[in-house]
Structure 1
Amino acid sequence: MLLAIPAMIENILQVFIGVVDTYFVGRIGTEAIAGVGITNLTMNVYIAFFSALGIGTTAVVSRYIGAEENEKADHAVKQSIIMALVIGLMFGIINLIFSKKILLLLGAGEGVIEYALPYFLSVAVPSVFLCVNMVLASALRGTGDTKTPMQVAIISNIINAILDYILIFGIFSFSGLGILGAGLATTFSRLISVILLLKKINSKDTKINIFIFGQWKIDFIMLSTITKISIPAAVERLIMRSGQLIYGGMIIKIGTEAYAAHNIAGTIETFSYLPGMGFGVAAATLVGQHLGKKKEDEAQSLGLIAYLLSTGFMVIVGIIFYIFAPVLAGLFTKDENIINQVVQVLRIIALFQPFLCITLVITSALQGAGDTRFPMYSSLIGILGIRVLGVYILCMRLGFGLVGVWIAYAIDITVRGVILMIRYLKGKWKEVRIS
């Protein structure tokens, strides 16, 4: 609970940054909102790689901390930072050179590009700050410190909100920069987060201490270890993104109302993910640390306890979804047809919370052990083999509409949940070794 609750709050705050940005940018105009949205589509692809590197960092650091080999943990964090700098700068250079071509490829018209380009250049080009930020936060979580990333997220939110207002609209004699100001506010808040996290890691009151001004050298063996864990996690996230794009296109073909209802239901569903994500962080940290201590059975028990606690929270959310579905849908639209579709979807979601919890918490537990390949394979089967195919059959062929989309989702979640739990209970992940 002590690990999970700060992680849950941090996830809420990360969502809130996007809400604040959208609120302020929305006052500029519709094209500005579209510009932010299309930039975020690109950033979501990059975040798949950044978060995967974070997973590798947490797995390695937690294992070394559990084994009380803190110097090796320090060394692993340094290698992760080096990799984060390389990946972040590489993406930044690509964004700088091909910025307009990327936006055109995503379908942006000239009117949207006028707004999207300044925001894209100010957010996507310096994406190295986001990458380093995610790695540092993951390293601290690997030590069992989820409070610092939460506290940094609070500060980042406050800075972002204040700068959004000042840089977008201006203050006193400063006239404001419009959407460029929104991008600069986001990037500056990420830079501040990096500085605060580095300060914490470089202090004496943490289990890792990387000495920013100490000796740094590339260790290809350690980089290889982190990469072997991170790459399958990155592929898994790319599979999920690809699947979402494919069946998202099918939903658009059903009709505008169905697509609107799908997005509203998806937005509401996000709140059910928060407990699973929080307890997933706890599971990854505890499993990794106890494997480092050579307490494999205790590691397995802690992962299951994290799952059961998370399930309790998520079932409560599911009950709320089921009972108050019409009220929740009505917060987003007054169109009765859309509301009815959202209500049907929310009640489907409500019934499958325990299986959704498995895909969040048990996946994280396996990844914390360094077993990232199996979740990748399960996502490949579930997202592309079941969900996308299911949406095609149920919606495009049998005409079940939006309900068919979410039935396919429910089947995917159930099958993946069962497969992942069997893998976890069998315990083959205990054999994963960290070099």
Structure 2
Amino acid sequence: MGGKIASLKVLKTDKSIKMIMALAIPAMLENTLQVFIGVVDTYFIGKIGTEAIAGAGITNLTMNMYIAFFLALGVGTTAIVSRNIGAANYEEANNAVKQSLIMGVFISLIFGTLNLVFSKNILMLLGAEEKVIQYALPYFLSVAVPSVFLCIMMILSSALRGTGDTKTPMKVVLIANIVNAVLDYVLIFGFGFGILGAGLATTLARIVGVVLLLKKIKSKETKIYLSLSNPWKINKNMLKSIIKISLPAAVERLIMRSGQLIYGGMIIKISTEAYVAHNIAGTIEAFSYLPGMGFGVAAATLVGQSLGARKDDEAKKFGWMAYFLATGFMMVVGMIFYIFAPFLAQLFTKDDTVIHLVVKVLRIIALFQPLLCATLVITSSLQGAGDTKFPMYVTLIGIWGVRILGVYILGMKLELGLVGVWLAYAIDVTIRGVILMIRFLKGNWRKISIG
């Protein structure tokens, strides 16, 4: 009898792993493809000139702030949709998507109008010189003004993930990649539009993505069939629920972004080589985030659905399993960072001083992958449960109370330079990772209402 029970547990565990992997792998690939869009754009814009790259970079600084709000809306959408899908309340899930879209379109149209009216002022405020503004302005107007399409694309993708469909967003981003790459070449060089062509290519690729996602959601193949013909009414209670979950997630991302700007300025003061090495290390490190983000999507979806089905223990199990699976992937990435650090650094620069710094940093990063994973996957698990305030507070303490202070003390006062900066990062990740795991272990998040 005991043997049968044990074998049933193994079968159930195997099934749970398969469910997590089925969601996480497409999500990982989607995140990789999202990164690749930026790489392709940078490649083609780089052919235009240095000022063009600078212009696109300044535009992306602004877009990152807007994306923080769009991502937060996505968090709220996924949490509410997944909870209602788990409870088999498909009408409420459908309503959540409608209300998220109404809010998202409203916010992004405000952003778009401000971008249109104050475009040059915004670029000047960000410190762009006149030469750079000549390139930045057409790109800014063609990407930042129609940001509504990016917002809709992100909300619809989040809604589908909430139902357990991570394959469709992945396929859509793949098609958007192809459209973007082809249009980049055709519009920049074929029609001679220059950087304006790059901006138009990006926006047109997003429009294609929106059309494909809408087609999927209108196909009745999903659990959130979205009818565009029926009247859409504002539901104040649902909007309050979305704001309740999304607002702390938005604040958390703004805390992160603002903190990055502050300690980025500190690193510049250390030395130019340190700043260059920091950016190279950060670019390489981004690849270690991909497994964590992918499994985070799986965790958020399955935790939310399990809570909706009133299976609290299952929700906890999915969260921990997603974390341990992601940690395995990220530790492999960490080993690659540690062993091949010199080779990876040399892909980006030939400066020996910079290479030496990048190698040191990558080896620090390699040692802290399990705790970095906690800040990604456990945060997503909590957010999937609707617990977005706690991660926000933890991020505030970690970024402003630990990392920025640590960069100042270790990097500048104790003159450890870039090594001190990344030691502060490691301390921050350790503290946040441990606090988040304790929170998840205690299980208070299971009692949070999304209504």
Shorter-chain TM-score: what band? Answer: over 0.9
Query: Aligned-pair distance for 1:233?
Result: 0.1
Residue 306 (structure 1) aligns with? 322
Q: Secondary structure at the match of 2:110?
A: helix
- The 5 A counterparts of 1:173-188 are 175-188=191-204
**2:381 & 2:342 partners in 1: Cα distance?**
35
The AA in structure 2 aligned to 1:287 is V
Residue 10 (structure 1) aligns with? 30
1:137-160 deviations in Å (ceiling 9; x for gaps): 000000000000000000000000
2:420 equivalent to 1:400: no
**1:434 & 1:366 partners in 2: Cα distance?**
12
Report if aligned partners of 2:44, 2:184 keep a CA contact under 8 Å in 1: yes
2:186 equivalent to 1:166: yes
Residue 371 (structure 1) aligns with? 387
Q: Secondary structure at the match of 1:218?
A: coil
The AA in structure 2 aligned to 1:77 is V
* Structure 1 stretches of at least 4 aligned residues deviating more than 4 Å after TM superposition: none
**1:140 & 1:284 partners in 2: Cα distance?**
12
The AA in structure 2 aligned to 1:110 is E
Residue 229 (structure 1) aligns with? 245
Residue 366 (structure 2) aligns with? 350
Residue 81 (structure 1) aligns with? 101
Residue 264 (structure 2) aligns with? 248
**2:441 & 2:369 partners in 1: Cα distance?**
20
Residue 20 (structure 1) aligns with? 40
The AA in structure 2 aligned to 1:379 is T
Residue 127 (structure 1) aligns with? 147
2:88 equivalent to 1:72: no
Query: Aligned-pair distance for 1:176?
Result: 1.8
Query: Aligned-pair distance for 1:204?
Result: 1.5
1:78-103 deviations in Å (ceiling 9; x for gaps): 10110111011010001011100100
- Please point out which of 142, 156, 170 is paired with 2:162: 142
Residue 103 (structure 1) aligns with? 123
**1:417 & 1:287 partners in 2: Cα distance?**
19
Residue 57 (structure 1) aligns with? 77
Aligned residues: CA RMSD: 0.5
1:150-173 deviations in Å (ceiling 9; x for gaps): 000000000000000011111xxx
Query: Aligned-pair distance for 1:134?
Result: 0.3
Residue 335 (structure 1) aligns with? 351
Residue 192 (structure 1) aligns with? 208
Residue 433 (structure 1) aligns with? 449
- Please point out which of 39, 43, 53 is paired with 2:63: 43
- Please point out which of 213, 217, 220 is paired with 2:229: 213
Aligned residue pair count: 431
**1:216 & 1:240 partners in 2: Cα distance?**
35
Query: Aligned-pair distance for 1:402?
Result: 0.2
2:295 equivalent to 1:279: yes
2:111 equivalent to 1:91: yes
**2:332 & 2:39 partners in 1: Cα distance?**
25
2:339 equivalent to 1:323: yes
1:174-223 deviations in Å (ceiling 9; x for gaps): x4211000000000000110111011011111111111111210001100
Q: Structure 2: where are the runs of 5+ without partners?
A: 1-20
Q: Secondary structure at the match of 1:2?
A: helix
**1:13 & 1:125 partners in 2: Cα distance?**
23
TM-score (norm 2): 0.95
1:289-333 deviations in Å (ceiling 9; x for gaps): 000000001100100000000000000000111111011111111
Q: Structure 1: where are the runs of 5+ without partners?
A: none
Residue 14 (structure 2) aligns with? none
**2:138 & 2:319 partners in 1: Cα distance?**
44
2:401 equivalent to 1:385: yes
**2:88 & 2:228 partners in 1: Cα distance?**
22
**2:342 & 2:48 partners in 1: Cα distance?**
32
The AA in structure 1 aligned to 2:171 is Q
- Please point out which of 238, 263, 270 is paired with 2:254: 238
Query: Aligned-pair distance for 1:393?
Result: 0.7
Report if aligned partners of 2:379, 2:391 keep a CA contact under 8 Å in 1: yes
Report if aligned partners of 2:299, 2:381 keep a CA contact under 8 Å in 1: yes
The AA in structure 1 aligned to 2:137 is L
**1:269 & 1:114 partners in 2: Cα distance?**
32
Residue 15 (structure 2) aligns with? none
**1:321 & 1:396 partners in 2: Cα distance?**
26
The AA in structure 2 aligned to 1:45 is M
The AA in structure 1 aligned to 2:251 is V
Query: Aligned-pair distance for 1:395?
Result: 1.5
TM-score (norm 1): 0.99
1:363-387 deviations in Å (ceiling 9; x for gaps): 0000000000000000000000000
**2:405 & 2:39 partners in 1: Cα distance?**
33
Query: Aligned-pair distance for 1:114?
Result: 0.2
1:28-56 deviations in Å (ceiling 9; x for gaps): 00000000000000000000000000000
**1:398 & 1:179 partners in 2: Cα distance?**
44
The AA in structure 1 aligned to 2:142 is S
Q: Secondary structure at the match of 1:3?
A: helix
**2:437 & 2:101 partners in 1: Cα distance?**
33
